[in-house]
Amino acid sequence: MRYIIRRSNPEDLNSLKKDIPNLDSQLEKASDGLRRIVPVTLSNLDSINYLLLTQKKGTDWVWTCPSVELVSENEQGLFGLMERLQVQPPAHLAHLKN
């Protein structure tokens, strides 16, 4: 199963550093049109993929993370990944949590 979460604060990369402590060394200097997907593999069946894009702020380019893709074998694993990221399951999936 795959589920994409839109982050409410894409400019804040500090919350990503708990899963990716070496994030700064994985990203080059931000410039026009750069895109990276940084995977975090938790098990053979569960992973989190962080989408990082560059955005222009004033005269400088900065990295942002507008969305996160959760990948799991089943609903239980998907809800576990949501809990790990402290994200509430959406209402249209609530019936699967039981």
pLDDT at 83: 92
pLDDT tens digits, 34-60 = 999 999 999 999 999 999 999 999 999
pLDDT tens digits, 82-91 = 999 998 888 8
pLDDT at 51: 97
Amino acid at position 3, single letter: Y
pLDDT at 12: 93
Residue 95 pLDDT class (50, 70, 90 cuts)? confident
pLDDT tens digits, 6-40 = 999 999 999 898 889 999 899 999 999 999 999 99
C-alpha span between 41 and 51 (Å, rounded): 14
C-alpha span between 11 and 52 (Å, rounded): 10
